[in-house]
Structure 1
Amino acid sequence: MDEPASGSPRAPLRTVDVARESGYSVQQVRDLERLGVIPAAARSGNGYRSYTPLHVHALRAYRGLAGAVGPVAARQLLAELRTGTTAEAASAVNAVHVRLAREREETLRAQRALRAIRAEADTSAADTSGFERESDAMTITELAEALNVRPSTLRFWEQEGLVTPERVTSLRARRYGVSAVGAARIVVALRGAGYGIPAVREAMGSLQRLDGLEETQRILRHRVDQIATRTMALLRAGSDLATVVASAQDPTTAQVP
């Protein structure tokens, strides 16, 4: 039940007020309260919910965070912001910005690798001048660190036929040349875009065909656009996130309209 309307500008907010100001429906407000996205509303003696402006800020912050990192991670992060120190909260939000920036950079690297593959296909030569020249070859540990994945992930991709390393020494230690590094960057971008192993395998297998190159290019362009959209969602949530963090340090801010 919702508390009846009041003529006082500082009266507690009703569920319908919070819904209108946050952009969620009344039922969504209740569901998100149940999930812990916003603090539990106070209850009057007759059971009516009463909210504060902080609940509106928290819901708006959640909308932006969910758009940036997904609903589950957004719920976890909001819980951290409400319980941690200002320094911890700032670090947590900054980590999201860093994550998005890294995803964008990896996708751009994948695009450059794809252009090099196109150049090879066009010239029918082993010209890899378009690839990154961070090194002539990388060990599995170096490549895993560069891509922010585990070495076991690269081994799994090898088993699935996605990335083929060079094998050297009698111990069969894996080393990845520039072509393999470029392929691995494309795999990272495709996996980050939500494509499953079968779809990635098909894409990687089709890179020597013009249609395969075009489709993978389209996927990577869409990936860059998605990351930009997620980044904008995080930026829009900025002031609301700041209010949530401030309220954790000074509960009186919850009453600020």
Structure 2
Amino acid sequence: MVDNLQTEGRLRPVDLARAHGLSAQAVRNYEAAGILPAAARTDHGHRVYSPLHARALAAFLALVAGHGHRTAASVLREVNDGAVDAALRLIDESHARLLDDRRTLEDVEGALRDLVPEPDGEVPGAAGGFIGALAAELGIRPATLRKWERAGLVRPRRDPVTGYRRYDEADVRDARLAHQLRRGGYPLERIAAVVAQVRSAGGVEPLEAALREWRDRVTARGRAMVAGAAEFDAYLRAREREREQKATA
């Protein structure tokens, strides 16, 4: 039943909670955390929220979907403290991280495409060769391959007779992948994680499904950011209207 509080534009914690499938305690916790503006109190100490609080809650939950809980909470706290520019900076930084993720995905996809075997199933080049041959194929110094080995990017075997490093087909694949990503400016530790994924998947082809899932997540996050921006803008506009009304009252 709609009570007098609601008809007057005054809302209880449960009123805000029901609209989003939350508990009333969750709403109170969000207020205590600064995610919602401080609520007014009745003479008996009960919290009284307004449509502005409803906007704040909707904005927070929409931002969580695209930016994560920590960033969304920080954004709302900054706004509620009157630091809108600081809040916008947090959103800009989150968008920059998504762009970096997208570029990393594209670079990994490009690097893996370059590793697709030849039609006869063989990887051309220095498979089974020594360090000098592989370094020459990649246009790098043998010292670079030794550095990559120390970082775990390549794992050549030692020739049982000479003790020299020998690079098999998987080693050549890993070296080419590392070379592509290094050219893209990625640090060795990030490359090592990608190479480890290729190894655990048993090669490049099994990673295609994982890359599709990764791209789907990036796309979903981007769309969630767009949706969150609309709710966040609505909250900012509601705050501005309330401030103007108070100034003219």
Is TM (by shorter chain) over 0.5? yes
Q: CA deviation at 1:226?
A: 0.8
Other-structure match for 1:203: 197
User: d(CA) in 2 for partners of 1:77 and 1:33?
Assistant: 14
Could you tell me whether the CA contact under 8 Å between 1:81 and 1:89 is conserved in 2? yes
1:148 maps to what in 2? none
- Give, in whole Å, the separation in 1 of the partners of 2:179 and 2:56: 42
Q: Which runs of 5+ in 2 are unaligned?
A: 127-138, 141-146, 156-174
Q: How does 1:9-158 map to 2 (within 5 A)?
A: 9-83=7-81, 89-119=87-117, 122-126=121-125
Aligned residues: 203
- Contact 1:65 1:234 (8 Å CA) reproduced: yes
Q: Aligned with 2:36: secondary structure?
A: coil
Alpha-carbon shift at residue 72 of structure 1 (Å): 1.2
**Residues in 2 aligned to 1:253 and 1:21: alpha-carbon distance in whole angstroms:** 27
* Residue 200 (structure 1) shift: 5.3
Deviation at 1:84, TM superposition (A): 5.2
1:240 alignment counterpart = 231
Structure index of larger Rg: 2
Q: Which amino acid aligns with 1:42?
A: A
Q: Is the 8 A contact 2:58 2:231 kept in 1?
A: yes
Name which of structure 1's ranges 17-26 and 243-252 shifts more when overlaid on structure 2: 243-252
Letter aligned with residue 68 of structure 2: G
Q: Which amino acid aligns with 2:71?
A: A
Using the TM superposition, give the Cα deviation of residue 32 of structure 1 relative to its aligned residue in structure 2, in angstroms.
1.8
149, 152, 174: which one aligns with 1:161: 152
Q: 1:81–1:248: 8 Å Cα contact kept in structure 2?
A: no
Distance 1:163 1:83 in 2: 51
Q: What SS does structure 2 have at the residue aligned with 1:214?
A: coil
| CA offsets 1:84-114 (integer angstroms, 9 cap, x no match) | 5655544543443343233223212211211
Deviation at 1:247, TM superposition (A): 5.0
Question: Residue 243 of structure 1: CA displacement?
Answer: 3.0
Please tell me whether the aligned partners of residues 57 and 243 of structure 1 are also in contact (alpha carbons under 8 angstroms): yes
Q: Give the partner amino acid of 2:44.
A: N
* Matched AA of 1:124: V
Cα gap change, 1:70 to 1:5, in 2 (>3 Å): same
- Which amino acid is 1:241 matched to? F
- Contact map agreement 1:13 1:51 (CA 8 A) in 2: yes
Deviates most, 81-90 or 222-231: 81-90
TM-score by length of 2: 0.64
Distance 2:243 2:176 in 1: 57
Change in CA separation of 1:52 and 1:105 when aligned onto 2, cut-off 3 Å: same
Please state if 1:214 is matched with 2:205: yes
Change (3 A) 1:66 1:222: same
Aligned partners of 2:239, 2:223: CA distance in 1, in Å?
25
User: Structure 2 vs 1, CA of residues 119 and 15 (structure 1 numbering), >3 Å: closer, same or farther?
Assistant: same
- Cα distance in 2 between the residues matched to 1:109 and 1:124: 21
Matches of 2:230 and 2:180, distance apart in 1: 39
| Amino acid across the alignment from 2:56 | A
Shift of 1:206: 4.5
Separation of aligned partners in 2, 1:254 and 1:67: 32
Match of 1:229 in 2: 220
The C-alpha deviation readout for 1:100-130, integer Å capped at 9, x for no partner, is: 2332232122112112122369441149xxx
**Secondary structure, in 3 states, of the residue corresponding to 1:213?**
coil
CA contact (8 A) 1:100 1:231 kept: yes
CA contact (8 A) 1:120 1:126 kept: no
Alignment correspondent of 2:243: 252
Using the aligned pairs only, state the percent identity. Answer: 29
CA contact (8 A) 2:63 2:224 kept: yes
